[in-house]
Amino acid sequence: MGNTIQSVRGFSDLLPDQTPLWRHVEGILTGVLDRYGYREIRLPQLEKTELFARTIGEVTDIVEKEMYTFEDRNGDSLSLRPEGTAGCVRACMQHGLLHNQQPRLWYTGSMFRHERPQKGRLRQFHQIGAEVFGLSGPDIDAELIIMTARMLRELGLDHVELQLNTLGTAEGRRRYREALVGFLGGHRAALDDDSQRRLDTNPLRILDSKNPETQRLLDAAPVLSDFLDDESRKHFEGLKSLLDRAGVAYRVNPRLVRGLDYYGRTVFEWVTDRLGAQGTVCAGGRYDALVEQLGGRPTPAVGFALGLERIVALVEELGLAPQQRELDVYMVVAGDRAQEAALVLAERLRDALPGLRLQMHCGGGSFKSQFKRADRSGARFAVVLAEDELARGQVGLKDLRDGGEQHAVGREELPGLLATGLDE
């Protein structure tokens, strides 16, 4: 036992007890996306490393130290995707989906980042994301955000807050970066190691620092909103008034920035205080420069990604996990002849009662041991096939929940009796 193989650190298994909740969550979220007219796109988990270096940014944490990058057998540098946007843009360009179209897309799947595993932070994690291309106005930003609000609402989630900010244009951010570096450079010694390093590589990320001392220092720092151009300001005002009209509450957080270089103008996050430090359950924003950066025609774009592990954890934390639906019928079988008849009868029942959850006992064994399994299976009814009853055209039916007696019933009556019994 000592040396059995374990999973890779940060890569977790989802066991059968957990998958129903995941399917419940995924079903609600993808259902909303469908109903808003977003179409699913399925993308590879592996891309050329260059794709991420050119989109997310060379000096971001993700590309610098979190990617699973390796050379394949041909010597090409490949990376497991750390997020979905870059691959989605790549696919849209490759397949001409951006020509005279304004696709609204969604995707789901595993993402990979070599981070320190902890609650709500894994090395393989799952997102559901959406991206919209070709629309530049605040109306689509608003729709996306309103849609995420509905997604969370349909899951029953509260204790989530929408935070909003605008990053303006690249030019404004460049001027702001200078001002920020000018200010923080004078206080270098007061910054933590991470922030000192970021001062040289990605200073805007310092705004995001969790260090209270750094946050205090930032109270006196220049603010990004003073570096906004008129167009970005107008866009942001437009978005806020649309959200106001739609009744979606938000808080403007002037220090909200994202860890990926491609964002500009709108950024937003849904944050909860119920999951400790890993409180962001959904994050997104506008990335109008990205398509052009990858060699395409200038194409405005906006999107978001929900972190499924965190959404599922919040659903559980708030006690919103639905009761798992159990089996309807466990079929108990005595004797070889009965086994044949049982398989045939089970198919008849499945035909007659769509949606029926029936598990067939396999592998023989005594009545007693089979009934034990039937009880443990959580099934509502046991249907019992024994050779002597079969000869009379009958089967046994036993309600497992009320400890009732087993009745002999005609095979022909069984579908009707089950339908009525399961309806109660």
Stretch that binds ligand ATP, among 25-33, 278-286, 352-360, 403-411 (CB under 6 A): 278-286
CB half-sphere exposure, 200, CA atoms < 13 A = 5
Q: Does 121 bind ligand ATP (CB under 6 A)?
A: yes
**230-242 burial, b if ≥16 CB within 10 A, otherwise e?**
eebeebbeebbeb
Bridge partners for 304 per DSSP: 130, 284
- Supply the minimum distance, in Å, between the C-beta of residue 314 and ligand ATP: 10
Instruction: Select 120 or 172, whichever has its Cβ closest to ligand ATP.
Output: 120
Pairing of strands 394-399, 358-360: unpaired
Of 13-21, 181-189, 302-310, 362-370, the window that binds ligand ATP (rule: CB under 6 A) is 302-310
Is 125 a binder of ligand ATP (CB under 6 A)?
yes
Smallest separation, CB 278 to ligand ATP (Å): 6
Helix or strand holding residue 405 (H, E): none
Decide if residue 141 touches ligand ATP (CB under 6 A).
no
Q: Side by side, which strands form the sheet with 77-80? A: 46-48, 77-80, 69-71
Stretch that binds ligand ATP, among 40-48, 174-182, 231-239, 303-311 (CB under 6 A): 303-311
- Considering only 254, 259, 296, 421, the residue that binds ligand ATP (CB under 6 A) is 259
Question: Between 102 and 118, whose beta carbon lies closer to ligand ATP?
Answer: 118
> What is the residue-wise DSSP string for 16-84?
TTTHHHHHHHHHHHHHHHHHTT-EE----SEEEHHHHHHHT-TTSHIIIII--EEE-TTS-EEEE-S-S
Tokens found for residue 300: 């405005």
With contacts defined by CB under 6 A, name the span among 276-284, 295-303, 376-384, 389-397 that binds ligand ATP. Answer: 276-284
CA–CA dist 347, 60 (Å, integer): 56
Contacts of residue 218, defined as CB under 8 A and 6 or more positions apart, other chains included, come to: 206, 207, 209, 255
Window contacting ligand ATP (CB under 6 A); options: 12-20, 290-298, 306-314, 415-423 = 306-314
What is the Cα 51 distance to its own chain's centre? 22
Two structure tokens written together for 194: 């991470």
According to the binding rule CB under 6 A, does residue 104 interact with ligand ATP? no
List 89, 180, 281, 386, residue binding ligand ATP (CB under 6 A): 281
User: Applying CB under 6 A, does 57 fall inside the site for ligand ATP?
Assistant: no
- How many Cβ atoms from other residues are within 10 Å of residue 298's Cβ? 10
Can you give the C-alpha Rg of the chain in angstroms? 28
In terms of C-beta density within 10 A (0-12 exposed, 13-18 middle, 19 or more buried), how is residue 3 classed? exposed
With CB under 6 A as the contact rule, which of the stretches 26-34, 114-122, 134-142, 186-194 interacts with ligand ATP?
Answer: 114-122
Q: Which one, 115 or 399, has the nearer CB to ligand ATP?
A: 115
Using the minimum distance from each CB to ligand ATP, give the nearer residue, 215 or 377: 215
- Comparison of 127 and 165: residue with beta carbon closer to ligand ATP: 127
Tell me the two tokens of residue 273: 């205080």
- Interface segment toward ligand ATP; rule CB under 6 A; list 13-21, 35-43, 119-127, 152-160: 119-127
Contact track, ligand ATP, 74-103, x by CB under 6 A: ---------x--------------------
Q: Taking the complex as a whole, how short is the minimal distance between the CB of residue 417 and ligand ATP, in angstroms?
A: 48
283 counts as binding ligand ATP under rule CB under 6 A: yes
**12 makes contact with ligand ATP (CB under 6 A):** no
Return the residue of 305, 315, 345, 374 that touches ligand ATP, per CB under 6 A.
305
Binding of ligand ATP by 115 (CB under 6 A):
yes
Give 6-9's long-range contacts (Cβ < 8 A, gap of 24+): 8/123, 9/117, 9/123
Measured in residues, the chain has a length of 424
- Positions in the binding site for ligand ATP (CB under 6 A): 83, 113, 115, 120-122, 125, 127, 259, 278, 280-283, 305, 307, 309-310
